[in-house]
Amino acid sequence: MRIWHQSFTVLDDVPHYRDALKRHLNAVARPGTEVELHGMAPGTYPGAYPGTHIGYLYLTNLHREQFVRAALAAEEQGYDAFFIATLPDTGFEDIRTLVDIPVVAFGNASVAFAATLGPRVGIVNFIAALEPQLRRTMAAYGFGSIVGPIVQVAAEFTDVMAAYDNPGPLIDAFRDAARRAIAAGADVIVPGEGPLNVFLADQGVSRVDDVPVIDSLGATLALAETRAEFRRRNGLHPARKGLYFAKPDPDLVRAARAFYYGDKA
C-alpha cells in the first residue's frame, strides 16, 4: 500500500521535523504500507515560515492549489490514499470531489478519532490565528458540539524545531496548555499542527494527568490505511451527490485548470 503524505511545510527546510516525521510514520504504519513524504515547493514561503501564511485566508487558499495538484498526481501515479497532513485540512473538501482514491485529513480524522475516547475534544496548538478557521471547519464537519477548548502552547514554530535538542521546556509548555484545556472541559487532547504532534509522539507523550493525548498523524494514517483497504475489499467510495461531494467531469476540470494554471495544470 502506498500513501501520499502532503505537508504544508517545505520539508527540506526543516530537517529535524522531516526526519522525525519519517521515523514516526514508518513506526506506526502497518506492515506493507509505504508512506511517501511530500512537502510544499521550495520557495513557497519567502521570508516567512508556514505558520505566518496559515493565519491568512487568502494565502491559505492560494497554497491550496499545491495540495490539489498533489492529489491529482497521487491518483495518476497509483497511490492508494492521499493524506492531508495539516490541521486546517487544506483543500480537503475540494480534493475529495476530484479523485476517487481515499482522501483523509489531519483535523477531520484526528477529531473524529478523539471523539471515540471522550465526548469533549480539546485542541492544543501553537498558531493562535487558526482558531476561527478550525471552529468553522469543525462545524462544517458536524463536529461543532464535539470540539471544546482550543488552547495555544506558549511556543512558536522555531521553538518546536529547536526542542529536538532540548525537549524539556516544550513538553512542560504543552502540559501547561493541555491542563488549561482540561480545566475548560476537555476529555481528550488533539495536539494541533504536525510538528507539535510528531515532537510529542517522538518524546512518548500520550497522556496529561488522566486525559489521553492522541497521536493525530498516527490516527490519520490508520484511517488512510483502513479506507484504502475497504476500497480494495468492497469498492467503498465517498458520496457523489451535491456541491460538496459531486465529482465534475475530468475534461471540465482539465480545461478549467489549463485556463487558470496553463501548463502547470
For 2-264, which CATH class? alpha beta
The vertex-202 CA angle with 199 and 208, nearest 5°, equals: 75
**Mean pLDDT, the chain, as a whole number?**
94
**Predicted local distance difference test score (pLDDT) of residue 53:** 86
Distances (CA, A) of 33 to 7, 72, 77, 197: 18, 20, 16, 21
Q: Is 190 helix (H, G, I), strand (E, B) or coil?
A: strand
pLDDT digits (tens, 9 = 90+) for 17-55: 899 999 999 999 999 999 999 999 999 998 777 778 888
- Output the nine-digit C-alpha cell for 6: 502532503
User: What are residue 206's phi and psi, to 5 degrees?
Assistant: -130, 5
pTM given for the model: 0.95
pLDDT digits (tens, 9 = 90+) for 186-212: 999 999 888 999 999 999 999 999 999
pLDDT digits (tens, 9 = 90+) for 84-135: 999 999 999 999 999 999 999 999 999 999 999 999 999 999 888 889 999 9
**Predicted local distance difference test score (pLDDT) of residue 264:** 64
**Predicted local distance difference test score (pLDDT) of residue 263:** 63
pLDDT digits (tens, 9 = 90+) for 55-92: 888 998 999 999 999 999 999 999 999 999 999 999 99
